[in-house]
Amino acid sequence: MKASMRSLMICICIVLHVVSPCHAKDGAVEARNGMVVCVSPAAADVGVAILKKGGTAVDATVAVALAMAVTYPPAGNIGGGGFMLVYLGGNEKPIVFEYRETAPKAVNRESFVNEKSPHTHKAVGVPGTVRGMELAHKKFGKLPWKDVVMPAVKLAEEGFPLTDSMARSLNGMLKATKENAEFQRCFGKADGSPWKVGDILVQKDLGKTLRAIAVEGPNAFYTGLLAELLEKEMKTGGGFITKDDLAGYKANERVPIHGSYRGHDVYGASPPSSGGTCLVQMLNIMENFDVKKHERYSPETIHLMAEASRRAFCDRARWLGDPDFTKIPDHLATKEYAKKLAQGIDLKHATKSESLADDIPLGKDGDSTTHFSIIDSKGMAVSNTYTLENSYGSRVVVKGAGYLLNNEMFDFNWKPGVTTRTGGIGTKPNEIAPGKRMLSSQSPTIIAKDGKPLLITGSPGSRTIINTVFGIVVSVVDYGMDVQSAVDAPRMHHQWFPDEIRFEGVKEYPDLVKKLKEMGHKVEYSKQGDGHSIWIDPKTGTYRGAADKRIDGKAAGY
């Protein structure tokens, strides 16, 4: 009886596969027609609903991004910026929609030399999210703009139930911002008690702002009353942004960084993101070694990954910035250059980071982003990463508009010429200039083969983003790990300075850590990333969504 019942359930799952997702043994969610994976369960459901209505992956991306401005205020936003990688498949060329924030006209390279706190009005860059969503929607959207924005309006005006992680996040930030009256008013509970699971968060002011964006169009955010409210907020707190800065903001279409890794195409975000360039360089270095003869968490593999990261992050500091302001060498993502870098790796000993950059003077030693992955029934794939920089950005809420502002100005090298062994970077390519876009580590990534997407991935985590994606790609391509296992696996990070490996598996792999230290590495524990990913089975076309539970998340499909 039990065996027949089990067979019946399997048959039901197969029959309903086109309309209902099934959970695989590894915890991934399987579907055939569309998949959304993100940190916010409510936003994931919004994205799937848009796909079911016949929307494209870009339609769903706009809906999810704006929904998360409501449901995930630590990083979901309309007051920040980011990068959207769209893969169409076949002979169509992928596109990056770059909507990184820009420096206001009133700043200069010395504007932040003496600034200590990132939580100020001065730290706010000109927001790009709404323009970025608009640009992508005009090119690849199918549903009306209003239809993809209104779900976010409903979530803000009617409220949504808090998850445990979101309730704890809000409670922590409310304790840290007791003197911030507008933050307390918008995000605090009316009776002053702590938030708990299931409580409904309503954001009326944000609902009005989103409704204006939905009904009047994206221009409503950059002109008129909303622009006046932002300018007024800046004047109140001593910030730099004006209505002219807002009116002049433009999102860009850019050509993705393209590389290959062991027969797979690799597409990533191009500058002003460093993510695609660094990832391709690191994978190119790894291709010079037969890592499969070692286990995934062997000292040999982790050593090679750390050495590849060390070199890519040194080049990141040396060369990368806004391409409209700095000349970026063409050789950084080439196989030939990676081979030269690989030849400098000692397989038995760690390289000293200082030895890689005699041309970068070293001074004396003295985050919150979010990523989501989407694919539609036609195979259009979107990898989108966007941010407010720190968790809840600058913690500045625009009075009367209800949305949080970024603190992205601190992603510039705000102390020119001061590069430190503790990780501060002061190199020229990413110095502040009016209208310039600050360098980012955001790494929305798509791995493809034979013109079809195989892996859609990315992560938050400041500079650790690149290594989170690096680890997921190596786990899937080199070691054949299923997507959920690759997302769950311990992560490693090395960013040139500080000269150390940060590793999630310190307790899990003590012998590995011991051997790395014997090789000359310093190893510290650190939790990193939130890599919501999708794997597309090349044989069956099944979508497998893997939510990363380090914070929260949901894979939703149909």
CATH of the domain at 549: 3.60.20.40
Q: Which residue has the tokens 């998340």?
A: 553
DSSP characters over 361-380: -B-----EEEEEEEE-TT--
pLDDT band at 7 (very low <50, low <70, confident <90, very high): very low
Contact at 8 Å (CB) between 96 and 83?
yes
The model's pTM: 0.95
What is the average pLDDT across 24-30? 83
Q: Assess if residue 454 is contained within a domain.
A: yes
Of 116-125, 343-352, 380-389, 517-526, the poorest mean pLDDT is in 116-125
pLDDT at 422: 87
Q: List helix spans (H) across 72-203.
A: 129-140, 145-158, 164-176, 181-187
pLDDT band at 357 (very low <50, low <70, confident <90, very high): confident
Of 12-16, 33-37, 124-128, 322-326, the poorest mean pLDDT is in 12-16
Q: Assess if residue 88 is contained within a domain.
A: yes
pLDDT band at 19 (very low <50, low <70, confident <90, very high): very low
* Residues contacting 340, CB < 8 A, separation 6+: none
Residues 292-337 have pLDDT tens digits of 999 999 999 999 999 999 999 999 999 999 999 999 999 999 999 9
> In the chain, how many domains are there?
1
Lookup: tokens for 500: 């150390």
Q: What are phi and psi of 513, to 5 degrees?
A: -60, -40
* Residues contacting 241, CB < 8 A, separation 6+: 104, 124, 125, 126, 230, 231, 234
Q: Assess if residue 331 is contained within a domain.
A: yes
What is the average pLDDT across 265-271? 98
Q: List helix spans (H) across 289-382.
A: 299-319, 335-343
pLDDT over threshold 50, residue 366: no
Instruction: Evaluate the omega torsion of the peptide bond into residue 498 and state whether it is cis, within 30 degrees of 0.
Output: yes
Q: Assess if residue 134 is contained within a domain.
A: yes
Residues 174-218 have pLDDT tens digits of 999 999 999 999 999 999 999 999 999 999 999 999 999 999 999
Report which of 39, 37, 72, 54 is spatially closest to residue 147, judged by C-alpha positions: 54
Q: Assess if residue 175 is contained within a domain.
A: no
Q: Assess if residue 180 is contained within a domain.
A: no
Q: Which residue has the tokens 């060369």?
A: 319
DSSP run (H or E) holding 266: strand 264-268
Annotated active-site residue in 102, 163, 209, 369: 369
Question: Domain range for residue 236?
Answer: 1-159+202-354+367-558
Task: Give the Cα separation of 403 and 77 in Å (integer).
Answer: 8
Q: Assess if residue 153 is contained within a domain.
A: yes
Q: Assess if residue 183 is contained within a domain.
A: no
**Active site (annotated) includes residue 419:** no
3-class secondary structure, 36: strand
pLDDT over threshold 80, residue 70: yes
* Residues contacting 160, CB < 8 A, separation 6+: 42, 70, 71, 200, 201
